[in-house]
Each structure stands twice: as C-alpha cells, then as structure tokens.
Amino acid sequence: AQSVTQLDSQVPVFEEAPVELRCNYSSSVSVYLFWYVQYPNQGLQLLLKYLSGSTLVKGINGFEAEFNKSQTSFHLRKPSVHISDTAEYFCAVLISGGYQKVTFGIGTKLQVIP
C-alpha cells in the first residue's frame, strides 16, 4: 500500500521569503502525486498534480513541485510567499492506473509572518 509522509507539521516563514514544504511517499508501483491547499474553514483545493512527463510541475498561485523518483519525494516550493498563502497544505498519492482512493499526508500548516 502507498503512504505519504509530510515531515513538517508547521512551517513559519516571513512574507516574501521562499518556502519549501516537504513530502515523501512510499509505493512499490508508479504513482500520481498531488498537492492540495486548505484555507481556514474551507474544503481542499487542488494546487498541482504530477501524472507523467516533466518532473517539474507548476500549479496555481505561483507554486511548483518537483517529482524526484530516486528520492521518492514531491516537495512543494514557492519563491516568494504572501500573507494569503497562510493555509494547510496536503500532499497526496494515488497508484497510477488504479482506482481512485487517494492517500493523504497529515498536512503542513504554512504560517506567513508579516
């Protein structure tokens, strides 16, 4: 079975600074990878996804992530964060070609400090 590890439960960062949210996955087969964002009192919104092809994936709101198969990682990055990026971020994995039960990480709370 696949699993996802988000190494940081909380990440504080100053406004306009870069940020990296870490995600590692475990699977014996090829996977699809996702990052979701959850703003306070809202549902989850898809930020970006890796299905195949280029390992650098660009998403909404200036975020990007890089799939690294050898390190089984899919870290999320943004070069300059805004206050509005304060939210919880979830990494998720789905076995490619399988049915749709996505496995989520425990989430990372990004706190942008003015």
Partner 1 sequence: GAGVSQSPSNKVTEKGKDVELRCDPISGHTALYWYRQSLGQGLEFLIYFQGNSAPDKSGLPSDRFSAERTGGSVSTLTIQRTQQEDSAVYLCASSPNRAPGYTFGSGTRLTVV
Phi, psi values for residue 62, rounded to 5°: 80, 5
Q: Are 69 and 58 in contact (CB under 8 A)?
A: no
Residue closer to partner 1 by CB (options 42, 70) is: 42
Q: Is the dihedral of CA 47, 9, 87, 100 positive or negative?
A: positive
Please report, for residues 58, 91, 92, the alpha-carbon distance to residue 13 in angstroms, rounded to integers and kept in the order given.
Answer: 21, 19, 23
Nearest distance from C-beta of residue 103 to partner 1, angstroms: 8
Residue closer to partner 1 by CB (options 40, 114) is: 40
By the rule CB under 8 A, 94 interacts with partner 1: yes
Nearest distance from C-beta of residue 9 to partner 1, angstroms: 8
Selection from 13, 11, 8, 34 nearest residue 79 by Cα? 13
Question: What is the distance in angstroms between the CA of the first residue and the CA of the last residue of the chain?
Answer: 41
Which of 40, 53, 54, 101 touches partner 1 by CB under 8 A? Answer: 101
* Residue span 13-42 as binding mask against partner 1, x where in contact by CB under 8 A, dash where not: -------------------x-x-x-----x
Residue closer to partner 1 by CB (options 66, 104) is: 104
Query: Which residues of this protein are in contact with partner 1, per CB under 8 A?
Result: 32, 34, 36, 42-46, 49, 51, 90, 94, 96, 99-107
